[in-house]
Amino acid sequence: MKPLKTLIPFAVLVAVWWGIKAGADVPDKLLVAPLAVWASFTGLVSHGILAEYASASLRLIGTAAIISFVIGVPLGFAVGTNRYAARALEGTLRFLQGISGIAWLPLAILWFGFSQTTTLTIVIYTLIVPIIFNTMTGVRAIPDNYALALQSLGAGRLRIVRDVYLPGALPSIIVGMRLGMGYGWRALIASEMLVRQGGLGDLIFGARTFGQIDRIMVGMVVIGTLYIVVDRLLVQPVETLTVARWGVLRR
Amino acid sequence: MIDRWIWRLLPWVPAAIALLAWWAWFAIEQPPASVMPSAFAVIATMADLAFGGRLPGDILASMARLLGGSALGIVTGMAAGFVAGLNRPIADFMNPLVVFFNAISGIVWLPLVIGWLGIGSPLAIFLIWNTVFFIIFQNTVLGVQLVPEVLELGVQSLGGSRWETIRSVTLPGALPYILSGIRSGLGFGWRALIAAELVGATTGLGQLIFSGAEYHRADIIVGGCLLIGAIAMAMDRWLLLPIEKRTVIRWGLVATGQGR
Amino acid sequence: MADKIEVSGFRHYFRTETGSVQATGTIDLSIKAGEFVTLVGPSGCGKTTLLKAIAGFLTPSEGSIVCDGKQVRGPGRERGVVFQELAILPWRTVRRNIAHGLEIARVPKAEREATVARLISLMGLGGFEDRYPHELSGGMRQRVAVARTWAADPEVILMDEPFAAVDAMTRLTLQEELGRLCAATRKTVFFITHSVEEAVFLADRVLVMTKRPGTVKAELKVPRSAAGGRDWDSFTSDPLMQKIAGDVMHLVHAERV
C-alpha cells in the first residue's frame, strides 16, 4: 500500500513526459522518450556497463566514508573534549566547510593528475569536515553531569568515553555523516565529470559528448536512485535507531 | 587576564600554524610554482587580479548567478512549499518526487541542461535554482506543517479569516525552518555554482580556479579557493545572521531543518 | 433572561484506525447571559471536546449548539477562547498580541491603543508591553492570553483549563484577577477545570461531569458574594463556600476510576 502511494507520482510524471514527447514536436537532442530511456537502461545493464560505472562510484564513496569516519570521529572527539582545541578549530572548520570540496578539485588535479586519487581526496575532504564538526558539537553538547556521575561511581577515563561520550555523541555523528554523504555524493559526481576516470559522473558527462541523451537520463535516474537507497536504507535507519531510542539531542 | 587574551586569539591559531607551515615548507622544499606557491605569490597574484584584472568581473558574475538563482529558488520554493504545506494531499503526492529530484539536484543536471542552455550564466542559474528550490520547498512544507494548531485556532477565535491566519500565524511560524533551509540552500548553491563554473562557464570564480589548473598556476587556485571561503563566510555573517537575529532569534524560536 | 448558549443532545465520537471512540455521553446544558459557569470532571471525560464544539472548532457528531439563537458552525469572534497551552503568537510583542483581535476587527488605531493600554493595566502587564512571549513566565503569558481575548470584547468567553500549566502560587493570583475582571466586565464565561476549588471559587454555577463518556450529572449554584469578585482569604473562611466545595468534591470523587 505504501510503496504504491510512492510510485503513483512517478507514474504520473512519466505519463506527462511521454505526453510531451509524443504530443509536442520535441527533437531528440533535447528530450528523449521514456521508452528510449528504458531501452538504453536495459542495454547498459545487459552489457554490464552500468554495473561497472555504478560500482566504481559506490566503491569510491564507500571508501571515502570509511576513511572519513575512521579519521574524523576520533579527531572530532579529541577536539570536542578539549575546550581550547574546540575554540581554536571551530572557526577554521566553518571556513573550510564554506569552501566546498569541489573548489579544491583543480588543485588536486595539479597534484594527482586526472586520476581516481584526485576524486577520492576531494570526496574525503568533503565528507570529513562535517563529520569532525558534528562529532565535536555532539561531544560538547553532553552535559558535564553525566561524566561526573560516572566518575563518582568509580569509572575510569576509558569507561567514561565508552559509556557516556560515544553514545551521547552518536546521534550528532550520524547526522554529520548524513550531511557529509549529501555533500560527498554531489562532489563525487562533479569530480567524476571533470576527471573522467570512471564512475557515474563520467558516464553522463561522456554521454553528453556523443549526444546520447537517453544515456544521460539513465545515468541521472540511477544516480538519484542510488543516493536515495544508500541514504534511506543504510544511513537513515541508523539515525532513527540511535536518535529515536535515545531521544534527544536534536529537534 | 592572559587567559582572556588566549581565548580571544585561539580561533586564529590554526590559520597561523598553517601559514607558518606553508612558509616553512616553501622555504625548505622550494617546490615549483605549479605545485605549491608561496604565500606571498598568492597574495601578489590575487592583488594583481583584483586591481585591473579579471577578479572583480569574476566575483560579480559568480555572485550575480548565485543570488539570482537562489532568489528564484527561494521564491518558487516558498510558494510551492506553502501550497503543499497547507494541503495534505498535494504534499503527499509531491513528496516522493521531491525526494527523488533533490537527490539529483544541481550538478547532475549539467550534461542534460548544457544541451538546452549552452554554457554560461543561464546554465549556472538553472543549476543553482534546481539545488535551492528543493531544499527550500522541503523546509517550507515542514515549517508550515509544524506550526502548532493551537496558534491558528487562537487567531480564528479572534475572528480571523483563513487569509489572516496564513498571514499572521503560518508565515511567521514557518520562518525558522525556512531560514534554516535558506542557510542550507545557499551552502549547496555555492557548491553547485562552483561546479557549474568549473565545467560550463567563461567567467566567474569557479572558472578562474579552473583556468588556474589549465595554466598550472597553483597560486591562482589557492587564492581563488580562499576567496570563495571568505565570501561564503561573509554572506553567512553579514546577510543571513542579521535576518535571523531580527526574526527567529528575537522571537525565541530556532529550528533545525532538512535537506542538509 | 434568555439563554446565551444552549447545548442540546450533544454527543461526539472520534474516528480512529480501530473504529470510533466515544468522546462524550449525551449532554444538555444551557448558560445564561452574564453567567460564569464552570465545568469540573475527571480526565478524559470529554470536557475539552465539549468546549471545542461550543467554540466551533469541531462539528458535533450528534446534537446542536446554539449561541445567541444561531447555530454554531465554526469559530468566530463572538466566542473568544483562552487555551491551556501557549496560543499567543511568539513573534508578536505583548502589546501586539493583545491588539490582534482589534486589528482583525479593523478598530481604528487610537481606540485600539486605548483598549490595549487599559487591559495592560488591568492585567498587571505594565512594563512588559514590548517583550516577546518567550521572555515571560508562564503566568505572565496566560495573562496576555486572557488580555488578548478580553480586548476583542466577545460576549462569550470559553476557557479551557487556562491556569493548569501555571505554578500553584501564581494560579491563586490569576484566579482572583480573573474574578475581578469578570465582575467588572459582564461576560458570559464557560470555564472548564480539573480543580474543584478553582471551579467553586470562580463560578456562579458549577457543573459536574461523570467519567468517560461524560455527561453532566449535577449542578450546584454558588451564591454571588460582594461585588468585585471573591478572594481566597474570605473564600477559605466562608463556611457556605467550603460546604459547596465539599459537596462538589464528593461528587467528583465518586467518579474516580
Query: What's the rounded mean pLDDT across residues C115-137?
Result: 91
Higher pLDDT residue, A250 or C14?
Answer: C14
- The per-residue pLDDT for B70 is 94
pLDDT band at B256 (very low <50, low <70, confident <90, very high): very low
Q: Write out the three cell numbers for A177.
A: 555523516
Query: What's the rounded mean pLDDT across residues C46-60?
Result: 91
Chain C's closest residue to B167, CA to CA, is C104
- CB contact, 8 Å: B201 with chain A? no
In eight-state DSSP terms, residue B244 is H
Q: The cell 597553483 sits on which residue?
A: B218
- The per-residue pLDDT for A246 is 58
**Cis peptide bond N-terminal to B56, omega within 30:** no
**Residue from A102, A179, A220, A248 to probe the interface with B (highest B Cβ count within 10 Å):** A102
3 state SS of C158: strand
Query: What's the rounded mean pLDDT across residues C132-144?
Result: 91
* Domain boundaries, position B188: 40-249
- CB contact, 8 Å: C83 with chain B? yes
Q: Is the pLDDT of residue B151 over 50?
A: yes
Cβ separation of B111 and A205 shorter than 8 Å? yes
Q: Is the pLDDT of residue B88 over 70?
A: yes
- The per-residue pLDDT for A249 is 42
Q: Write out the three cell numbers for A3.
A: 510503496
Cβ separation of C87 and B153 shorter than 8 Å? yes
Q: What is the ipTM of this complex?
A: 0.81
Alpha-carbon Rg for chain A in angstroms: 22
Burial category of B48 from C-beta neighbours within 10 Å (exposed 0-12, middle 13-18, buried 19 and up): middle
Spell out which residues of chain A touch residue B114, defining contact as CB-CB under 8 Å. 208
Query: What's the rounded mean pLDDT across residues B211-224?
Result: 83
- The per-residue pLDDT for B226 is 86
- CB contact, 8 Å: B187 with chain A? yes
For chain A, the structural domain boundaries read 35-246
- Whether B260 maps to a domain, the answer reads no
Count CB-CB contacts under 10 A for residue B83: 16
Q: A: neighbours with 3+ CB pairs under 8 Å?
A: B
Query: What's the rounded mean pLDDT across residues B87-110?
Result: 88
The class (CATH top level) of C3-78+158-253 is: alpha beta
Chain B's closest residue to C57, CA to CA, is B153
Cβ separation of A8 and B93 shorter than 8 Å? yes
Measured CA to CA, the distance from residue B111 to residue B103 in angstroms comes to: 16
Residues in B 4-23 with any Cβ partner in A closer than 8 A: 6-7, 10-15
Cβ separation of B13 and A207 shorter than 8 Å? no
pLDDT band at B124 (very low <50, low <70, confident <90, very high): very high
- Residues C152-195 have pLDDT tens digits of 989 899 999 999 888 889 999 999 989 888 888 888 999 999 89
Of B231, B198, B232, nearest to A187 by C-alpha is: B198
Query: Are 3 or more Cβ–Cβ pairs between B and C shorter than 8 Å?
Result: yes
Give percent above pLDDT 70 in chain B: 95
User: A86 CB contacts (<8 Å, ≥6 apart)?
Assistant: A79, A80, A136, A140
- The per-residue pLDDT for B241 is 84
- Residues B226-251 have pLDDT tens digits of 888 888 888 888 888 888 888 878 88
Query: What's the rounded mean pLDDT across residues C117-146?
Result: 91
Per the prediction, chain C carries an average pLDDT of: 89
Residues pairing with C16 in the sheet: C19
CATH number where B67 lies: 1.10.3720.10
Crossing angle for the helix pair B55-85 and B39-50, to the nearest 10 degrees: 80
Spell out which residues of chain C touch residue B255, defining contact as CB-CB under 8 Å. none
Count CB-CB contacts under 10 A for residue A217: 23
Query: What's the rounded mean pLDDT across residues C225-241?
Result: 80
Number of domains making up chain B: 1
Residues in A 135-154 with any Cβ partner in B closer than 8 A: none
Q: How many CA atoms are closer than 13 Å to the CA of B154, on its beta-carbon side?
A: 30
Residue C184, φ and ψ in degrees, nearest 5: -80, -25
Strand-strand pairing, C156-160 and C188-193: parallel
- CB contact, 8 Å: B68 with chain C? no
Measured CA to CA, the distance from residue C197 to residue C206 in angstroms comes to: 11
Give percent above pLDDT 70 in chain C: 97
Of C13, C8, C134, C142, nearest to C67 by C-alpha is: C8
- State the SS3 of chain A: CHHHHHHHHHHHHHHHHHHHHHHCCCCCCCCCCHHHHHHHHHHHHHCCHHHHHHHHHHHHHHHHHHHHHHHHHHHHHHHHCCHHHHHHHHHHHHHHHHCCHHHHHHHHHHHHCCCHHHHHHHHHHHHHHHHHHHHHHHHHCCCHHHHHHHHCCCCCHHHHHHHHHHHHHHHHHHHHHHHHHHHHHHHHHHHHHHHCCCCHHHHHHHHHHCCCHHHHHHHHHHHHHHHHHHHHHHHHHHHHHHHHHHCCCCC
Residue ranges of chain C that CATH labels 3.40.50.300: 3-78+158-253
- Residues B152-167 have pLDDT tens digits of 999 999 988 999 999 9
- The per-residue pLDDT for B1 is 67
Q: CB–CB of A169/A178 below 8 Å?
A: no
- The per-residue pLDDT for A247 is 53
Query: Are 3 or more Cβ–Cβ pairs between A and C shorter than 8 Å?
Result: no
For the entire predicted model, the pTM comes to 0.82
**Residue from B100, B130, B237 to probe the interface with A (highest A Cβ count within 10 Å):** B100
Architecture of domain A35-246: Orthogonal Bundle (1.10)
Cβ separation of B150 and C88 shorter than 8 Å? no
Residues in A 213-242 with any Cβ partner in B closer than 8 A: 213, 216-217, 219-221, 223-225, 227-228, 231
- CB contact, 8 Å: A87 with chain B? yes
- CB contact, 8 Å: B230 with chain C? no
Q: Is the pLDDT of residue B260 over 50?
A: no
